[in-house]
Amino acid sequence: MINEILLSIVTVTSPNAAVLRQPAEPVTSFGEHTEKFFHSMVATMRNAGGIGIAAQQVGETMAVFAVDVSQCVASGDTCALDRRTVKIRSVSPLAFFNPKITKVSEETNVQEEGCLSIPGVRAKIRRANSVAVRYQDEKGDTHELECGGIFARCIQHEEAHLRGILFTDDAVSGDE
């Protein structure tokens, strides 16, 4: 049993806010430390009411983010994990170590987003409708996920964090 701990969330006004702009470094070894970090990220995210969190948001520059959109999807909503159709709720939360977005749909949509690191700010962001992402789980096993909707939006938001990009950088103006 791996116990998670609550981590401090780095916001744009934190003394160590610069970490939010640092690109992530690949994770090369997996084990109890990556499992514990994942569980701690999820506990921290849930405690703050978020649906995604990247390592920089808790002061680390590891290439990993966690996502749990189960409260934002219907019980029957599905994604494709390793080419099998599965219910999103049954595979959440997920850890994405060393993620690479391998495919984005040409179709895009604009929705309002928020971010645990920018409290109180909402902005409309254009994102691809669906994505495919290759990544390793907290044990180091490689997977491929294809998804759409808020799951795809959240993955794009978190993957940008790993490159030091905040959602407000990409905000669209007007009623575009």
Catalytic residues: 158
172 within 8 A of 110, measured Cβ to Cβ: yes
Closer by beta carbon to Zn ion, 113 or else 138: 113
Secondary structure element (H or E) that encloses residue 47, with its range: helix 32-47
91 within 8 A of 81, measured Cβ to Cβ: yes
Beta-carbon neighbour count of residue 112 at 10 Å?
9
Show contacts with Zn ion in window 96-125 (CB under 5 A).
115
**Taking CB under 5 A as the rule, does residue 62 contact Zn ion?**
no
From the list 108, 135, 112, the residue with the least C-alpha distance to 123 is 112
In angstroms, give the least distance from the CB of 80 to Zn ion: 25
| Residue number, nearest CB to Zn ion | 115
In angstroms, give the least distance from the CB of 116 to Zn ion: 6
In angstroms, give the least distance from the CB of 165 to Zn ion: 10
Q: With CB under 5 A, what is the number of residues at the site for Zn ion?
A: 1
In angstroms, give the least distance from the CB of 167 to Zn ion: 6
Closer by beta carbon to Zn ion, 51 or else 81: 51
Closer by beta carbon to Zn ion, 65 or else 78: 65
Residue 93: CA count within 13 A, CB half-sphere? 22
Burial class (CB in 10 A: 0-12, 13-18, 19+), 55: buried
Closer by beta carbon to Zn ion, 43 or else 115: 115
| Residues forming the site for Zn ion (CB under 5 A) | 115
